[in-house]
Structure 1
Amino acid sequence: MISTDRTDPPLTGDEVATLLGFLDFLRSTVLRKADGLDADQLDTALPPSTMTLGGLLHHLALVEDDWCSVVLHGNPPAEPWASVDWAADRDWEWTAARTTPPEELRRRYVDAIARSDALVEQVLRERGLDAVAARRQRHTDQEISLRWILVHLIEEYGRHAGHADLIRERIDGSTGE
């Protein structure tokens, strides 16, 4: 279960422990940056960007579900993503965050991580890091390994954790860990 209490990734762990350790650390970092904020604060941007912490939580919930359920396992998109008219609003996860209550944004984020953890654990147990995802890369039709998905999630979270640092500092001056 993801929380705002962070554990440093292992310094001597194997590849799986290291990858999952860094991913969990970054997930907790993002959650920590949004912790204790109200709806107006979660909807605060750092111009010129329109990115908000609420939008980040919602976006990362979608990222988790997309990579770990849809791509890795071949599942259809789950709600709330399944019924979105993406053609009408390509940035729905960002724009919908503006009217989604803070506790719902946090729940969607934490629940998406729990689902991802279970789905990744299943593949690790059955086939390991070299397991090939059920779906192929959209643009090149190449196979994607679980290892690549985990590294990609770390990369995505790393970029967004930096964004979250800056946005949170803009909101209330909080910096650092």
Structure 2
Amino acid sequence: MTDNRFEAPMAGDEVATVLGFLQYLRDTFRWKIEGLDDEQLQQPLAPSTMTLAGMTTHLAFVENYWFTYVFEGKRPLEMFADNDWDAAPDYDWEMAAGMSPDQRTELLSRMQQESDSVVDAALTSGGLDLTAQNPGQDDRVSLRWILVHLVEEYARHNGHADLLREAIDGQVGE
């Protein structure tokens, strides 16, 4: 595995620091799935059913959900919007089984790029204090909260990815 992760600035302002850590954690996840074949990516670590393949599609969903659906108030990507979430609440994890590794990685990269475009536009038009109505909630959510939540989401799942990767091929690292 090649460690080409973006390093967050150690003395940056709030925006540079939060965006830097989000990019670092995105790169860390990409590093964890690098070089594995489909069988390895779909290998769970008992007793969990969690896989790196499912985690990839889940993170793509999370990016699309928070930036497109919540922050922009737009319809989510069709593959997510058309799911009956009551009947299949883990669809974002399970959909990975029907996709190739390249399709999953491309989906995650595309959702991250779309998220970055939303963030760039928001930062130019109002900054981290911009808010959006959180669907199904009475309160609004700020861009700051969404970004920090994504940092938390990637950090948590990178911990899972560490364990899965080590079980698959013994590869360890941050």
TM-score by length of 1: 0.93
SS in 2 for 1:125: helix
**Structure 2 residue 142 is the aligned partner of structure 1 residue 136:** no
Q: Counterpart of 1:61?
A: 60
How far did residue 29 of structure 1 move?
A: 0.6
Q: Identify the match of residue 172 of structure 1 among 157, 162, 169.
A: 169
**Percent of pairs identical after alignment?**
47
User: CA separation of 1:148/1:137 partners in 2, compared to 1, >3 Å: closer, same or farther?
Assistant: farther
1:112 maps to 2:111: yes
SS of the residue corresponding to residue 62 of structure 2 reads: helix
Q: The residue matched to 1:144 in structure 2 has which SS?
A: strand
Task: Give 1:46 deviation, angstroms.
Answer: 1.1
Deviation of 1:136 (Å): 2.1
Alpha-carbon distance in 1 for matches of 2:143, 2:91:
27
Per the normalisation by structure 2, the TM-score is: 0.95
- Determine the C-alpha separation between the residues in 2 that align with 1:39 and 1:137: 35
What is the aligned length? 173
SS in 1 for 2:128: coil
Cα separation, 1, equivalents of 2:67 and 2:89 = 21
The answer as to whether partners of 1:4 and 1:35 remain within 8 angstroms in 2 is no
Shift of 1:56: 0.6
User: Any stretches of 5+ residues in structure 2 without a counterpart?
Assistant: none
- TM-aligned CA deviation for residue 62 of structure 1: 0.2
Q: Structure 1: which 4+ aligned runs deviate by more than 3 Å?
A: none
Report the Cα distance in structure 2 between the residues aligned to 1:59 and 1:95, rounded to whole angstroms.
9
After superposition, what is the alpha-carbon deviation per residue over 1:95-136, rounded to whole angstroms, capped at 9, x for unaligned? 111221100000000000000000011011101000012x22
**1:11 aligns to what?**
10
The 1-side partners of 2:3 and 2:77 are apart by 26
Unaligned runs of 5+ in 1: none
3-state SS in 1 of match to 2:127: coil
Paired residues of 1:137 and 1:144 also in contact (CA < 8 A)? no
Deviation at 1:4, TM superposition (A): 6.5
